């Protein structure tokens, strides 16, 4: 199976790093080949040009930016969603990963 690119976007790219780690651990346990990484909102559109992405997951704190990303995501046939606030707050990597995979499979 080809690797799935999962890009998490937050205000500075820092608050999602723990969630990325938990998602990566869960992906490994489930045998999911995924490239999961976090970026700041400022660098997200640039990353789309340089790294394969299947889904953009916005942190709850940047949900207001969804419209900004939707047009670019549509151009590249990339799914986009906002991370569930409860899953984000609890750093539930498994739920976030499952939600992402449901949208890109």
Q: Is 28 left (phi over 0), alpha (psi -120 to 50) or beta?
A: alpha
pLDDT, the chain, mean? 92
According to the model, what pLDDT value does residue 97 have? 97
Range of the domain at 12: 4-104
Residues 30 and 67: their CA atoms lie apart, in Å, by: 32
Q: How many domains does the chain have?
A: 1
CATH number, position 55: 3.40.50.2300
In angstroms, the Cα distances linking 2 to 13, 17, 69, 79, 82 are: 25, 23, 24, 16, 24
Residues 14 and 29: their CA atoms lie apart, in Å, by: 24
pTM: 0.93
pLDDT in tens, 46-94: 988 899 999 999 999 999 999 989 988 898 899 999 999 999 999 999 9
Question: Shortest CA distance to 55 belongs to which of 2, 1, 105?
Answer: 105
The answer, yes or no, to whether residue 15 has pLDDT greater than 80, is no
Residues in the chain, overall count: 105
Q: Provide the percentage of residues in the chain whose pLDDT is more than 90.
A: 75
According to the model, what pLDDT value does residue 28 have? 96
pLDDT level of residue 1 (50, 70, 90 thresholds) = low
Sign of the C-alpha dihedral computed for residues 43, 55, 36 and 9 taken in this order: positive
Q: How much is the average pLDDT of 27-34?
A: 95
Catalytic residues: 10
């Amino acid at each position: 199976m080809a690797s799935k690119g999962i890009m998490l976007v937050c205000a500075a790219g820092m608050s999602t790093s723990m969630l990325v780690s938990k998602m990566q651990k869960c992906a490994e346990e489930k045998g999911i080949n995924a490239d999961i990484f976090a970026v700041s909102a400022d660098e997200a559109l640039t990353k789309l040009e340089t790294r394969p992405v299947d889904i953009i997951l916005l942190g709850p704190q940047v949900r207001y930016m969804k419209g900004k990303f939707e047009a670019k995501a549509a151009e590249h046939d990339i799914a986009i969603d906002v991370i569930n606030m409860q899953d984000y707050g609890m750093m539930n990597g498994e739920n976030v990963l499952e939600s992402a995979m449901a949208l890109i499979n």
